[in-house]
Structure 1
Amino acid sequence: MISAQRENLRRYYLTCWQKQQAGQVLEGLEKQVAAVILEHPEYHALLTESERALQQDYAPEHGASNPFLHMGLHLGLREQVATNRPVGIRDIYDNLAERYGPHDTEHLMMECLVANLWQAQQQQQPPDETTYLNCLVKLG
């Protein structure tokens, strides 16, 4: 089941990229995915190799960075900022973006997001918004 879900998610990214490259109309989330892909030219070659993109494993213990996870974190952060959830994240983002620019700010914020998600998983608890926001504030 996890493998099928992973493949479906990756196919969605591939479809968004193919539509973007073909100049087709993108809707809603497709536009957001394509925008993140455009900001990551280092992933463009991979996204044109459908089978490799679908099958590739990215083991952190081997130093591999998962491009789909990375792009997904961008999308998740953008959703958090757009909805200001957790409350206060939009102001933190705006302040950091003035200093570092939007894309680099997201990369900085990802470190806190990943740490918070990892901690929640280890404790088998929901993510702690206060800890997360405190980590983000320290970035500034």
Structure 2
Amino acid sequence: MFGQNRDELRRFFRQAWEKRTQGLPLQPLEQLVAQVIELHPEYHRHLADERQLQRDFTPDDGETNPWLHMGMHITLGEQVASDRPPGIRTQYQQLVKQFADQHAAEHAMMDCLGVVLWEAQRAGSMPDEAAYLECLRKLSK
């Protein structure tokens, strides 16, 4: 979507944000990225500092990887827009009503997405869409 490696992805985020802050026109994907960045002022420092673009984030750091976090928001947006996996749009709408906040609902959904992606990576397989949707259903109970 953004490129084939971490550096390209992070630079794309940075460029989209720079264009947004300068009031320049944005392509649709840049607009989506800029909207996600805007929701996360705690990550703005990572966009402004070249060292942060190169930084590795590990669980031992005790800090959320801002690039992964923002990327998951974008992934959720794309999943909901395309209703892929089938049924996710309905789950999303229910969770937004339950949480009364789109951003909070997405943060809850990220826990499910993260688990399913981690399990797929560990098993060397595609993510289990049924398990993902089941996890989302459990959130709305």
Cα deviation for residue 18 of structure 1 reads 0.5
* TM-score, scaled to structure 1: 0.93
Structure 1 residue ranges (4+ consecutive) displaced by more than 3 angstroms after TM superposition:
none
Aligned amino acid, residue 46 of structure 2? L
The one-letter code of the counterpart of 2:95 is L
Structure 1 CA distance for aligned equivalents of residues 39 and 63 of structure 2: 20
- Pairwise mapping of residues 28-107 of structure 1 onto structure 2 (< 5 A)? 28-49=28-49, 51-100=50-99, 101-107=101-107
Structure 1: gaps (5+ residues): none
Contact 1:10 1:53 in 2 (8 A): no
Q: Is the 8 A contact 1:84 1:90 kept in 2?
A: yes
Q: 1:81, CA displacement in angstroms? A: 0.4
Tell me how many residue pairs correspond in the alignment.
Answer: 136
| Distance of 1:38 and 1:134 partners within structure 2 | 30
Q: Give the aligned partner of residue 108 of structure 1.
A: 108
Q: Which residue of 1 aligns with 2:129?
A: 129
Q: CA deviation at 1:55?
A: 1.4
Percent identity among equivalent residues?
49
Query: What corresponds to 2:10 in structure 1?
Result: 10
User: Contact conserved, 1:109 with 1:136, CA < 8 A, in 2?
Assistant: yes
1:4-36 CA distance string (max 9 Å, x none): 811111000000010011010011100000000
Cα distance in 2, alignment partners of residues 54 and 62 from structure 1: 16
